[in-house]
Chain A
């Protein structure tokens, strides 16, 4: 079997993961090349290693995600499954670090298995680190300072709106505890799991990112607020999901969020 021909087949498979994948699912095409002995599943996983190495630049943005993928022995499989999308992104020329990050984290959200505890931890780290990454792409110059926010008063007629520089996530663990556990050499699976809500806020003054735990009401408020609803309409929307509050009772929590710079009111009213 000519080495030249064998190398040509291997290189074609490595350069085009979708071609390799088509061979995995139907060996007939390989008969054209008269090469019967290809270990296609091992080659597929090697494709995962190559894709993983190509994404080493994302380790700075997603350190805990990468770490858990390796610790739970999932990185090769994950990157193998991601390799086709990664190759498509490269071919499109939209291969900036941000595009790679967003595409990869979007892939992971869909690929991870919600019934598996290790997968759930990885999903939480993806959400945590992508929130930080998202804020890092926002220029501090475009953010409103807290002093500017503090002057806004909230009434029943107010229409709260989201602000740039603040994102929020529902997670299954404390992401800061996971980070501390990993870097101290502990077992990340030992970190307690429970429904938790976290807010990520980029400061206008010094570009640092504050990470704070939110209570359930605050999270639900933030989810319902869409920039078009007044407080009574927000109360009605919350009631439909089983969280019953009178509109007047929402003034205080919304005012608090406005005071912290995590919300604003439309037209300052």
Chain B
């Protein structure tokens, strides 16, 4: 199955190009803010994506948030919920001159890559899975800076999470490529160490390099480095679904996106 992440140009692309995609990936946070976005299911089936469970965090989401996620999952009929191996909430700072309330962010942050956090992730996955009636699948974070106290690579962190938890994988190729560029490892070698048999969904998006680091960029199309990495993965395993995260810009050229979909179909065949 091929899908596109919900964004300013996504629905228009789907209408202009019927029968080329199979689903639209909707973010829970947008649904919560604007329930009318659920009307996307009038065009195509919907897969729910989430950035609110803070699976790799020490401060869990509220019961109200988990209930809202569960309700949306049921209303939309999503086959699974994709969530990030990251944190969005943390304890307040209590020492020094900076005193803050418990902090909740609106963007996911790559966690400390350590045994302690692997344990926290596993506990959180178990808890959150009991609250929703569809499988959770977990997405690898991009690494932009070293998190103090990390004792393992992001690849080993992901491997260890999947070794200890029964959970599906949402493999974000662009996040993996970004991590490899910023942390300095070979993406083609390392990606094959992941338990690809757990892969349910794959994400693809653009990236760019600025100020000496690689960055996620959903306003541009994936480049050859991402397609090359896709080839490496798809030679070994195929996911149930591939989502193009082209959801920041309203004016990506149709023909280039259509070509990319065709190219991936060929790789899968």
User: Interface on A for B, CB 8 Å cutoff?
Assistant: 1-12, 14-16, 19, 29, 32-33, 35-39, 42-43, 45-46, 49-50, 53-54, 56, 59-60, 63, 66, 70, 73-77, 183
Contact = CB atoms under 8 A, between A and B. Distances in A.
Contact of B107 (A1, A12, A14, A59): A14
B103 A15 contact: yes
Contacts, number: 131
B211 A76 contact: yes
Interface of B: 8, 57-58, 87, 89-98, 100, 103-107, 109, 111-112, 114, 116-117, 120, 144-149, 208-211, 213, 215-217, 219-220, 248-251
A1 B149 contact: yes
Given A7-B87, A14-B105, A60-B8, A70 B147 contact: no
Given A37-B146, A37-B148, A45-B144, A8 B90 contact: yes
A12 B96 contact: no
Nearest to A15: B103
Given A63-B250, A66-B219, A3 B107 contact: no
A86 B201 CA distance: 34
Contacts of B114: 3
A12 B95 CA distance: 12
Given A3-B117, A6-B147, A70 B220 contact: yes
B211 A7 contact: no
A120 B92 CA distance: 42
A53 B107 contact: yes
B108 to A, nearest CB: 10
Which among A29, A70, A77 has the greatest number of chain B C-beta atoms within 10 A?
A70
Contacts of B87: 7, 11
A1 B149 CA distance: 5
A4 B211 contact: no
B111 A7 contact: yes
A7 B250 contact: no
B254 to A, nearest CB: 13
A59 B8 contact: yes
Nearest to B89: A11
Contacts of B248: 53, 56, 59
Contact of B148 (A6, A11, A19): A6
A59 B217 CA distance: 13
Contacts of A8: 90-94, 103
A77 B208 CA distance: 13
A218 B112 CA distance: 61
16 contacts: A1-B112, A4-B58, A8-B92, A8-B103, A11-B90, A12-B98, A16-B98, A32-B97, A36-B148, A37-B146, A38-B145, A59-B250, A70-B219, A73-B208, A73-B209, A73-B211
Contacts of A75: 210
B211 A45 contact: yes
A236 to B, nearest CB: 48
Nearest to A76: B210
A59 B246 CA distance: 13
A267 B86 CA distance: 64
B250 A60 contact: yes
Contacts of A43: 144-145
A133 to B, nearest CB: 15
